[in-house]
Amino acid sequence: MRQHAEHARRRAEDLQGRALERFDEERRRRTWVEVAWQSWLRMGQRGGPLLSGGLAYRLFLFLLPAALFVVSLLGTFVDVTDESADQVAHDLGMRAALATTVAQAVNQSEAGRWWLMLLGLVWMLWAARSAVSALLVISRIAWDQPRMKASTGRGALVFTGFVFAVTVGSYLADRLVGGGTARSVLGWTVVTAAAVGAILYAMTLLPRAGRPWPVVIPGALFFGIVLRGMMFATAVYFADKIDRADDLYGAMGIAIVCLLWLYLLAWGWVAAQFLNAGMAGVGTRADALFDEPEA
């Protein structure tokens, strides 16, 4: 057994060495690989994990009152409160699982539904302003821009509308797409393309140091892949985590799993912003791949 373990260790070290050599070779041959690597290093130096955690926390603070507002006003998730949160996560995603938990709390509350709706609306808009501020800070750090003034009030309305539009669009797409394999693949491709387009538009609304809008294409593609990957991970991993966490910790366990999911999603957004800045030549030694800032 010791001989087998030693052989496996040497084999792993050999594979690691060859992988590093291949990666160094690709960095010398391909500019975009070097730029992506420099962007990764720069993200770590600028506190990428801390920025991701702050954004995830603000997104969580937004999703809670948003779910409370929707449940109280329309009763959208009332019909599924009898289902477990993990089953809802399998079918509709993490946001729906969180909304189901909120709906169950609303049904058990003795307060009037209209008061809960008003509380959810006010809290949701306040949390949206906080989320917009976090997005602006991330863009400013990624693009090496000084502190700037921005209308977070109008941004909060845009952010709220954008989140609701994406959520409804994703729900309708999942319900409409079905049938054979070819139709499912076509539907998945169309949904992914629509998601990348929405991400691209959202990134153009944020500061980018005066660069033209095509500079955000790499980050939009990257975050689109991350987003679709997180949807897949929800079905195969996070939904089961919710089931086990719910049995052990109740609603607190569901909140922990949702925060982990949001952290990974926020990490993808922060990485996409630094990738865009790196491709534009901000903070990297590589030549810029896009035009210089507009006059």
Among all chains, which residue has been given the structure tokens 């791949």?
Answer: 289
Q: Is the pLDDT of residue 271 over 90?
A: yes
- What b/e string do you get for 179-205 counting C-beta neighbours within 10 Å, with b at 16 or more? eeeeeeeebeeebeeebbebbbebbee
The whole-number pLDDT of residue 27 equals: 72
Extract the tokens encoding 19. Answer: 């992988």
DSSP 235: I
Burial class of residue 221, CB neighbours in 10 A (0-12, 13-18, 19+): middle
The CA-CA-CA angle for residues 212, 218, 221, to 5°, reads: 125
> How high does pLDDT run on average in the chain?
76
Across 3-7, 22-26, 168-172, 254-258, the highest mean pLDDT is recorded for: 3-7
Of residues 37 and 240, the one with the higher pLDDT is: 37
pLDDT tens, position by position, 56-73: 999 988 988 888 787 777
**What is the largest distance, in Å, between two alpha-carbon atoms of the chain?**
70
Q: Is the pLDDT of residue 87 over 60?
A: no
Q: Is the pLDDT of residue 112 over 60?
A: yes
Q: What is the pTM of this model?
A: 0.77
**Alpha-carbon separation of residue 66 from 81, 115, 149 (angstroms):** 17, 14, 26
What is the arithmetic mean of pLDDT over 92-104? 58
pLDDT tens, position by position, 118-169: 888 888 889 999 999 999 999 999 998 877 666 677 888 888 888 887 777 6
Rounded to an integer, what distance in angstroms lies between the CA atom of residue 131 and that of residue 141?
A: 15
Of residues 50 and 210, the one with the higher pLDDT is: 50
Among all chains, which residue has been given the structure tokens 């593609």?
Answer: 221
Extract the tokens encoding 230. Answer: 């997180």
Among all chains, which residue has been given the structure tokens 């709906």?
Answer: 103
DSSP 292: P
Domain boundaries, the chain: 48-279
Rounded to an integer, what distance in angstroms lies between the CA atom of residue 187 and that of residue 93?
A: 17
Rounded to an integer, what distance in angstroms lies between the CA atom of residue 24 and that of residue 186?
A: 37
Type of residue at 126: W
Rounded to an integer, what distance in angstroms lies between the CA atom of residue 43 and that of residue 92?
A: 32
Extract the tokens encoding 179. Answer: 């049938």
**Alpha-carbon separation of residue 198 from 162, 191, 223, 250, 295 (angstroms):** 9, 10, 11, 35, 27
Host H or E run for residue 91: helix 85-92
